[in-house]
Amino acid sequence: MQRLKNQKLQIILSWTAVVLWMLLIFTFSAQHGTKSTCLSDMAAEIIMKKINVIIPPDSQTGTTTNLVKTFKYILRKSAHIGEYFILGALVMNAMKTSKVPKFKAFIMSILLCILYAMSDEIHQHFVPGRSAQVSDVLIDTIGAIGGTGLRLLIRRRNSTSCVE
């Protein structure tokens, strides 16, 4: 009886983590385009300052400006991958906790993440200063596959390890 209660609690907690992470993604997506860009730029500047200590910028060429622009773009897209990597891992964990069979859990986790990425881009279409981009859904999907795959590998390792 106690084991059943613990299992139900684990299921509830794992799906709660998924919903909370989705709310966090939604909150980021609801930011006005200017605020979102400002936050990304601030993060990029902090990182670039640390890099410039190691690699001093060349002030006689325009490469520094192009490098910063490229870095900011990569940072923004990396954030997409990171958000959905975590979402994929959380969804796969919730599927595992809910006792969904391995292959079905993998496919359902990725599909849920893709559907959420699509709905997120539609949401962004209605946020001032933001736009919906199919490329972002593809980038989100890469992150989700990575997170889901990693969680699947962890699941497989835990199920095949021996207890001494």
Please identify which residue in the block is written with the tokens 């640390």: 50
Predicted confidence at residue 32, as pLDDT, reads: 82
Q: Is the pLDDT of residue 72 over 60?
A: yes
Candidates 74, 86, 20, 66; CA nearest to 43 is: 74
Question: Could you tell me the pLDDT band of residue 34, with boundaries at 50, 70 and 90?
Answer: confident
Rounded Cα gap, residues 137 and 81, in angstroms = 10
> Under a CB-based contact definition with an 8 Å cutoff, are residues 76 and 44 in contact?
no
Residue of 161 and 139 predicted with greater confidence = 139
Query: pLDDT digits over 80-134, tens only?
Result: 999 999 999 999 999 999 999 999 999 999 999 999 999 999 999 999 888 899 9
Please identify which residue in the block is written with the tokens 């990693």: 150
So where are the chain's domains? 2-31+73-160
pTM: 0.81
